[in-house]
Amino acid sequence: MKVVALAGGVGAARFLRGLVRVVEPADVTVVVNTGDDLVLHGLHISPDLDTVTYTLGGGVHPEQGWGRAGDTLTVAAELRDRYGAPDWFTLGDRDLATHLVRTRILAEGGTLSRATAVIAGAWELAPTLLPMTDDPVTTRVRTADGRDLHFQRWWVGEGAEPAVAEVVVAGAAEATPAPGVLEAVGAADVVVLCPSNPVVSIGPILAVPGLRRAVAARPVVGVSPIVGGRDVRGMADRLLPAIGCEVSADAVAGLYADLLDGWVVDRRDAGLADAVAALGCRVATTESIMTTPQVAASLARTALELVAGPRRARAC
């Protein structure tokens, strides 16, 4: 079974660690959000690509869910203490090696796809990792107090504190899907929307022209990132209201109503099954707090089984 997964950061990465236990890893293509990418200290940093890479490669910091296990902060401390550089974005030493490789490839005229392939190759990842686009796309948060912040600046730098007036995925309209993205989606038996933030992770991916339509043509299942009316981690509760969406598993399903054949909600949200079904989607309820890779694998199996088999007419 060929699976394409649309992925953001930590939640997606943990889900993917389960997915590759229930389908052939080499049959999985992960299309990763790059709207969070930023340039810091001259380095091109792709937080979501890195989180997925480190997690699937077995090198992620286990508690954080991002960055490298056992990493140190020598370079970052020197940049801060000696050179007065901003330190709001944590940059571990091992992690920095990845950014150096990516930045060098880009500086030499390579694409983000090329850099991603090189890095994924070094980590010996069996799934194919693709950035959503090789073009510059930047998610920006316009705050209620009138500032226009890079998403990472708002999220990491200001702790997602400033109230959000609007989220803009700058550059998305002019972007082209990265090489292989549309082909992989077109060949997918199932497209999975990982449990990632709908506004700043899955949203930017689907905003790349051509992608939403391509996904809509395939069987699609999503896993709710909202459990019990809250985001499992992250800041969906700060962002969903900005797009007029309630913070609930069924409301998020509604954002994908044109795409979904199935939607997996947490067992704690079993009471929302009817509301989701009313969107015309199949619903599964299961444990979705991925405390172990085994839970993630079970969650992935539940998701795939929901839409595998004969294609169901889509009502929503």
Residue 79 touches a second copy, criterion: CB under 8 A: yes
Q: Which of 62, 63, 83, 309 lies at the binding interface for a second copy (CB under 8 A)?
A: 83
Tokens 């990516």, located at residue:
102
Q: Please, which residue, 74 or 292, has the CB nearer to a second copy?
A: 74
Binding mask 3-42 for a second copy (x = CB under 8 A): --------------------------------------xx
Q: Please report whether residue 109 would count as binding a second copy according to CB under 8 A.
A: no
Q: What is the DSSP secondary structure assignment for residue 312, as one 8-state letter?
A: P
Q: How far is the CB of 89 from a second copy (least distance, A)?
A: 14
Write the DSSP symbol of residue 290.
-
**Closer of 110 and 228 to a second copy (Cβ):** 110
- The answer to whether 94 contacts a second copy (rule: CB under 8 A) is yes
Backbone angles phi, psi at 100, to 5 degrees: -65, -45
Give me 185's structure tokens. 């989606």
Asked whether 168 and 142 are in contact (CB, 8 A), the reply is yes
Which residue(s) pair with 18 in the sheet? none
Work out how close the CB of 302 gets to a second copy at its nearest, in angstroms, rounded to a whole number: 34
Do 191 and 185 form a contact (C-beta atoms < 8 A)?
A: yes
**How many angstroms separate the CA atoms of 11 and 147, rounded?**
28
Decide: is 100 part of the binding site for a second copy (CB under 8 A). Answer: yes
Least distance in Å: CB of 84 to a second copy?
7
Number of residues that bind a second copy (CB under 8 A): 27
Which residues between 115 and 134 bind a second copy (CB under 8 A)? 118-119, 122-123
189-208 footprint of a second copy as x/- string (CB under 8 A)? --------------------
Does the footprint of a second copy cover residue 97 (CB under 8 A)?
A: yes
Whole-number Cα distances in Å, 134 to 26, 46, 104: 22, 12, 15
Reduced to 3 states, what is the DSSP secondary structure of residue 87? Answer: coil
Segment near a second copy (CB under 8 A), from 14-22, 28-36, 101-109, 254-262?
101-109
Q: Smallest gap, in angstroms, from Cβ of residue 124 to a second copy? A: 10
The stretch among 4-12, 80-88, 155-163, 247-255 that binds a second copy (CB under 8 A) is 80-88
- SS3 of residue 168 by DSSP: strand
Strand, helix or coil for residue 73: coil
Say how far apart CA 116 and CA 138 lie, in whole Å: 18
CA atoms within 13 A on the CB side of 131: 28
Which residue from 93, 148, 189, 305 is in contact with a second copy, where contact means CB under 8 A?
Answer: 93
Question: What does residue 282 show for φ and ψ, rounded to 5 degrees?
Answer: -65, 150
User: Closer to a second copy at the Cβ: 81 or 166?
Assistant: 81
CB of 96 to a second copy, least distance (A): 5
| Selected range binding a second copy among 26-34, 71-79, 183-191, 257-265, rule: CB under 8 A | 71-79
What is the bridge-based pairing of β-strands 190-193 and 148-150? Answer: unpaired
DSSP tag of 68: B
Contact in structure between 16 and 56 (CB atoms under 8 Å): yes
Residues 30, 19: Cα–Cα separation, whole Å: 11
Q: Identify which of residues 68 and 238 has a Cβ nearer to a second copy in the complex.
A: 68
Q: Roughly what angle, to the nearest 10 degrees, separates helices 47-56 and 10-22?
A: 40
Site for a second copy, residues 37 to 66, rule: CB under 8 A:
41-43
Binding site for a second copy (CB under 8 A): 41-43, 72, 74-75, 78-79, 82-85, 93-94, 96-98, 100-101, 103-104, 107-108, 118-119, 122-123
